[in-house]
Amino acid sequence: MPSNDSRFDTAEGDIWQHMINNEDWDYDYLFNNRLGLRGSSDDQFFRFLEEMVHPIVRPPDDQEEYASVINNHIMRDGFKLQAHEQISGYQVYRVVRIGSARVEQNVKNLIFAADGPNTTLSDT
């Protein structure tokens, strides 16, 4: 992500400056304002979670622990981080849907069944 501050090239510099050096951002501001997670789409949020456990971002020894903690939260909503592929022998995780009873497509036909004999207005 690009920086919002001319002193830095990337968002990492912004975050370091305000979370570590100045301590003038809290986590609510970081996640919701700077990173824009509040109001983001599910796809954007899931991408953020996937990046949190990516081997370029997270030391491989910590990946499984972080994925487990995240899964404790998102599994309640029918999702989980799952190892999808490997880069240089390290896991790359993707958010996947688990045990869904939800209809993922538009309803094509809706059929109502009568409970009792078939009568029309002309029969009465």
Shared domain for 32 and 63, answered yes or no, is: no
Please indicate, yes or no, whether residues 94 and 49 belong to a single structural domain of this protein: yes
Mean pLDDT value across residues 28-57: 91
Provide the residue count of the chain.
124
Q: Are 33 and 49 in the same domain? A: no
Q: Report yes or no on 104 lying in a domain.
A: no
| Residues 51 and 84 reside in one and the same domain | yes
Q: pTM for the whole thing? A: 0.67
For a pLDDT cut of 70, what percent of the chain falls above it?
80
Q: Supply the pLDDT for residue 119.
A: 59
Q: How high is the pLDDT of residue 90?
A: 92
Number of domains, the chain: 2
The single-letter code of the amino acid at 98 is: I
Query: 88-105 burial string, b = 16+ CB within 10 Å, else e?
Result: eeebebebeeeeeeeeee
Both 62 and 16 in a single domain? no
Label residue 67 exposed, middle or buried (CB < 10 Å: 0-12, 13-18, 19+).
buried
- Helical packing angle, 42-52 and 60-74, nearest 10°: 150
Task: Specify whether 48 is located in the same domain as 93.
Answer: yes
Least confident of 19-33, 45-59, 108-122: 108-122
Range of 28's domain?
1-39
Asked whether residue 13 is domain-assigned, the answer is yes
**39, 70, 83, 91 from 87: Cα distances, Å:** 31, 21, 11, 7
Q: Does one domain contain both 88 and 46?
A: yes
> What is the CA 18 to chain-centroid distance, rounded?
25
Which of 37, 30, 28, 6 minimizes the C-alpha distance to 16? 30
Q: Do residues 44 and 28 both lie within one domain? A: no
